[in-house]
Chain A
Amino acid sequence: MAVLQMRKLRIYGLKRNRKQILEMLQRSGAVEVSDIPMEKEETVFLTADVSASQSLFEKERKEAEEALEILSRYVPDKGSPLAFLNGRKPISAEEYYAFAQRWEEVRKTIQEILSLERDVREKEGEVRRLETQLEGLQPWLKLDVSMRFRGTASTAAFIGTLPGSRKGEDLERELEEASPGLAVSVEVISASQEQTCVFLLCPKEQQEQAENALRAQGFSRPSSPSKVPPAEKARELSRTLEELKKEKKQREEEIARMEPFREDLKYAWDYLTMRLEKYQVLGQLEQSRHVFILGGYMPLKEVEGLSRKLEPLGAVLETEEPGEDEDVPVLLENNAFAEPVEGVLESFSMPGKGELDPSPIMAVFYYILFGMMLSDAAYGLIMVAVCGFCLWKFKNMELSMRKALRMFFFCGISTTFWGFLYGSFFGDVVGAFSGTFLGQRQDLPPFWFSPLEEPMRMLMFSLLVGVIHIFVALFLGAVQFWKQKRYKDLVYDIVFWYLLVGGLILLLLSTEMFAGIAGIAKLEEPAGTIGSIAAGIGAVGILLTGGRESKNPVKRLLKGAYALYNVTGYLGDILSYSRLLALGLATGVIAQVINSMGTMMGSGPVGLIAFILIFLVGHTINIAINLLGAYVHTNRLQFVEFFGKFFQGGGRKFQPFGVHTKYFKIKEDK
């Protein structure tokens, strides 16, 4: 139920057992490895340079990943949409080590897939190139000589394009007009808006003259003329294309046939990941010729088990209390009720040095606040059913997913509870349905009160929950100070604030005006006097001690005054809990809107169908939106209002040397 105690450890082992020891440590996942600070003189011990092997493993892992991706492109990895709940597939340690024997073989498979894919890509590029070429030939298909044809013994031939759409006779006339004496014969092969392909003949001696005249018209020769007539060339190209496509298809089919190796590829990824991590640790070992030393941290409660496992491997485990200024990693342990919110805590920060693990207290409030915001019994029951089903059905789920689902399971229970207290079940569906279809409106009565009818009462209750939440946070701060033996800080930073805020609340409630707003009877004397005395002591205390780190008395007083000003912060914090009302009402009112829209079509069969449709769609949207809202704002209340009072965080999470695979989980045989 707390931050686990950590021990600093050293493992001394013989080098010939190094592999087994490291593999055992990796599977146990109990030790975080860190560098060992060594005296410079101890030259017997050296760290090995493993960067070359590491980068090799990284490259191979990337290739395995690529191969997997390629494979999934051709043969999609079929799986149900809920497959992500399944977690990693468990395998035994023997299976894992059996794979290590086959690794070379699998590596060949990976290379084969990669080279096949490269081939496919190449062919694809070639196909694209040929297709462009074929397209370029289209305008020339009617030409029945080679495109390189330059004329006969007495004639000169020009084959090329002119810009724009031209007619043969027009071109002949224009050329002859522009260059007197020139005799040409033009045959238009094809013409489009952009260009005209022409075959032009003239007497050999006029070749130069014709060329000049043509150039003036914008004539240009094709960039890559074919040796054979275009039609024949086109046939040739189509044939090659066909063949290329067939080959490409074959390669693709070959890749698809690799499907049975998919598991192997996944194995490979996991195998390389584990080796990579092992080598990283290897690089942190201090090694002499026969001995190696491993340093790090581990939870105290696992020390005994680990040293028992190390004994047969001829290694010795030595532990000690970590020093004051060491960067000790943090590991939390909680019961099933509080454990789920560890994830939320982690997304804020792990507890820093000397801080408590707030999870158990936080869990209680988390579930309560969430329930108050979503506050609909039916929505809560849906959450409980969905999360419960997934937890029951997918036993092998990953821990983080399990935690999240369990958290929403508890939130669902709380939501159901508050929903019944407020009399909200799909909003007012009971009343709306019975009123429209059964003829007599029969509302579900709230067990406590309906926030829609008594919003002020709800507001006061929300603020009361806020005051309790904040006071509990202050109390946790006090416990922390107590544990750190900072008794003065406890009085200055906690007790004075209790007096001030508590006193002010008492004072407010004993005035006519605020009691009226709150809808309760004004508190009788001596409540007001006690309140003002307490607030006074608190205020003076804070004024005098708020700036106690300054030596200068004037500065100290000014800082104290500034600390006192923070009372507005408390006011804001408490008012912030009005969101419990606002979000609770939002769920209920939107649900009512949906229900009343559903009943608008009357009570006939058409009305019933419309009601069911609107009901399903509307409530699905409402549950999604308000689930998100409740989640976000519960987090906010925890992070800002609650943690702000006592929790700084900044701890580093315990990251053990372990098995961080993606596809398979190695079962530890006991």
Chain B
Amino acid sequence: MENFGIVLAVLGAVLAALLAGAGSAVGVGRAGEAAAGVVTEDPSKFSKVLILQLLPGTQGIYGLLIAFLCLSQIGIIGGTFVELSVAKGLLYFLACMPMAIVGYWSALKQSRASVACIGLIAKRPDQLGKAILFPAMVETYAIFALLISILSIFGIAGLPV
């Protein structure tokens, strides 16, 4: 059981990459379906709907980022393995959770906004600025989660537990 700390930390890192990545994959896929429909009708809208399709994809990248930060802090990446107490491992696990959970749900919800805005672009291609904004609103919360996860992971390293 003395090595359980590292298990918890890796579990957290993996979940951040896994959940946020899965959410983004579903989201980008869903938006892609809608985008393909629009391009069928009017190929000239390709670049516009592509931007909207990519918007729910950032959560997966943020998840990857958190996973990488966490893994490198505990020495899985980079080589220098550090002894990890159970408490510290659990802290790393918790630090990863905002990104994992918020990342997953925000990607799904953002994809809905993206799909709706792809519909908007189909009818009113001149309104791209506004259409990007609606999905970007959802992303704000993924960014906040990313922020807290990053700050926590950096902060935990120095804690005397």
Contacts and interface: CB of A to CB of B under 8 A. Distances in A.
A633 B154 contact: no
Interface in A412-459: 455-456, 459
Contacts of B150: 455, 582, 585
Contacts of B133: 635-636, 639-640
Contact of A625 (B61, B132, B139, B146): B61
Interface string A583-606: 101100110010010000000000
Nearest to A346: B129
A348 interface: yes
Interface string B120-161: 000000111110110011011001101100110010000000
Contact of B143 (A347, A582, A635, A639): A582
Interface stretch (B4-12, B31-39, B50-58, B86-94): B50-58
Contacts of A502: none
A578 interface: yes
A520 interface: no
A583 B147 CA distance: 9
Contacts of B136: 632-633, 635-636
A346 B143 CA distance: 27
B151 A455 contact: yes
Contacts of B68: 589, 593
Contacts of A596: 72, 77-78
A625 B129 contact: no
B129 A348 contact: yes
B69 interface: yes
- Kindly state the interface size class of chain B when it binds its partner: 20 to 34
Given A582-B146, A589-B68, A632 B130 contact: no
A479 interface: no
A627 to B, nearest CB: 11
B69 A629 contact: no
A579 B151 contact: no
Given A578-B144, A636-B137, A586 B61 contact: yes
Interface string A604-641: 00000000000000000000010011001101100110
Interface string A30-57: 0000000000000000000000000000
B69 A347 contact: no
- Kindly state the interface size class of chain A when it binds its partner: 20 to 34
Contacts of B62: 586
B61 to A, nearest CB: 6
B65 A590 contact: yes
Contacts of A578: 143-144, 147
Contacts of B151: 455-456, 459
B43 to A, nearest CB: 13
A628 B54 contact: yes
Interface string B62-84: 10110011001000011000000
A582 B61 contact: no
Contact of A586 (B57, B126, B146): B146
Contact of B128 (A347, A586, A625): A347
A344 B65 contact: no
A134 B68 CA distance: 65
Contacts of A579: 140, 143, 147
Contact of B58 (A348, A576, A581, A629): A629
A149 B133 CA distance: 76
A585 B64 CA distance: 13
Contact of A348 (B61, B130, B137): B130
A471 B126 CA distance: 31
B125 to A, nearest CB: 11
A579 B137 CA distance: 12
A347 to B, nearest CB: 3
B129 A639 contact: yes
Contacts of B77: 596
Contacts of A576: 140
Nearest to B126: A347
Contacts of B140: 576, 579, 636
Contact of A589 (B65, B126, B147): B65
B54, B55, B61, B78, most chain A CB atoms within 10 A: B61
Contacts of B61: 586, 590, 625
A136 to B, nearest CB: 35
Given A589-B68, A593-B68, A632 B132 contact: yes
A593 B154 CA distance: 16
A581 B129 contact: no
Contacts of A593: 64-65, 68
Contacts of B64: 590, 593
A578 B62 CA distance: 15
Contacts of A589: 65, 68-69
A575 B144 CA distance: 9
Contacts of A633: 136, 139, 143
A583 B143 contact: yes
Nearest to B66: A589
A463 to B, nearest CB: 11
A347 B121 CA distance: 13
Contact of A635 (B72, B132, B154): B132
B96 to A, nearest CB: 14
A344 B129 CA distance: 7
Given A576-B140, A578-B144, A596-B78, A586 B132 contact: no
A346 B129 CA distance: 9
B147 A581 contact: yes
A459 B151 CA distance: 10
Nearest to A624: B54
A632 B146 contact: no
Contacts of B57: 625
Contacts of A459: 147, 151
A347 B137 contact: no
Contacts of B72: 596
Contacts of A590: 61, 64-65
A586 B69 CA distance: 11
Nearest to A452: B154
6 contacts: A456-B151, A575-B144, A581-B147, A582-B146, A596-B72, A632-B136
Interface of A: 344, 346-348, 455-456, 459, 575-576, 578-579, 581-583, 585-586, 589-590, 593, 596, 625, 628-629, 632-633, 635-636, 639-640
Given A348-B129, A456-B151, A586-B61, 5 more contacts: A459-B147, A575-B144, A579-B147, A590-B64, A629-B58
- For the complex of A and B, the 6 pairs showing the least CB-CB separation, nearest first, are A347-B129, A582-B147, A582-B143, A579-B143, A636-B136, A582-B146
Interface of B: 51, 54-55, 57-58, 61-62, 64-65, 68-69, 72, 77-78, 126-130, 132-133, 136-137, 139-140, 143-144, 146-147, 150-151, 154
